Amino acid sequence: MLQTILQSIGLSEKESKVYLALLELGSASAFELSKKLKIPHSTVYVMLENLSRKSIVSKFEQSGSSKFSASDPLSLLSYLENKKEIISHQVDALSKGMSELSTLYLSSQEKPRLRLYEGLDGLAALENDADEIDQSISDTIYSFTPMDIIQQLDPADASSGRRFKRGKKVKMIYTHKDGIQKFSNSDLRRQARFLPRDKFPFNTGIAIAPNHSIRMFSFKKGFIGVWIDNAEMANTLKFFFDICWEFAQKEK
């Protein structure tokens, strides 16, 4: 009980044991405390020095050896009052710098954070990150997708299935070397519109999560993907997507 109280005011477990032992013994050497508490002598000595600096233990010489005694328990109140004063000064100092610290924090939040994914392991890592992060972003993902390129490598079905399990809708603008296809699928919560590849020969897929992030990926020379966490960039690309959606061809 007493040890718990002492630890609650900031003493370590070993400091508490040493102080209580000194209260019981009246005074003792580090060696005597080590023997009683079954704690290494060097550790006991460090604890005594710590307690002495806190004015909770006093050190004196007796018969040519160093001895220690516990200060009056009222010294614990003085110790806490001193801690309270120190914390008060620290709070005042921090308050004066809080405005500048907040400015630095906000400026860092505005900087895009970027993650790079490479190879098949990178593709798996991107999907795993999406499983986790997509829970907290927009209900709908907006994408530009070179479907014929992606179909050759067959990651599309797996990705769509995982996206569906994450509960996300998708609005997709796609190109395909064989012309307009049928990729809209109400079961998968996917709407799709087509742009002709000869006029819009993009080979990189883009997934946009408004107010959150952009994912860009290419399968041309092995998988490489980039995830950019930046709401402003994501929203700008979303505006561009909306423009393209208006003149993209609807599937029949």
**CA–CA distance, 214 with 226 (Å, rounded to integer):** 8
Q: What local confidence, expressed as pLDDT, does residue 156 receive?
A: 46
Phi, psi at residue 117, to the nearest 5°?
Answer: -130, 135
Each as own residue / partner, the long-range contacts of residues 185-188 (CB below 8 Å, 24 or more positions apart, any chain) are 188/160, 188/164
Determine contact, residues 150/205, Cβ cutoff 8 Å. Answer: yes
Q: Would you state the pLDDT for residue 105?
A: 64
Q: How far apart are CA 95 and CA 155, in angstroms?
A: 52
pLDDT in tens, the chain (252 residues): 888 888 888 888 888 888 888 888 888 888 888 888 888 888 888 888 888 888 888 888 887 778 888 888 888 888 888 888 888 888 888 888 877 876 676 666 566 778 888 887 887 787 777 776 666 676 788 999 888 887 776 554 445 555 555 667 889 999 988 888 888 888 888 899 999 988 888 888 898 988 888 889 887 777 888 988 888 888 999 999 999 999 898 887
In the DSSP assignment, the letter for residue 185 is B
Domains, the chain: 2-75 (1.10.10.10), 113-250 (3.30.870.10)
Q: From the CA atom positions of the chain, what is the Rg in Å?
A: 33
Closest CA to 170 of 182, 155, 185, 180: 185
In this prediction the pTM is 0.54
Looking at residue 194, its pLDDT comes to 92
> Do 143 and 170 contact (CB within 8 A), yes or no?
yes
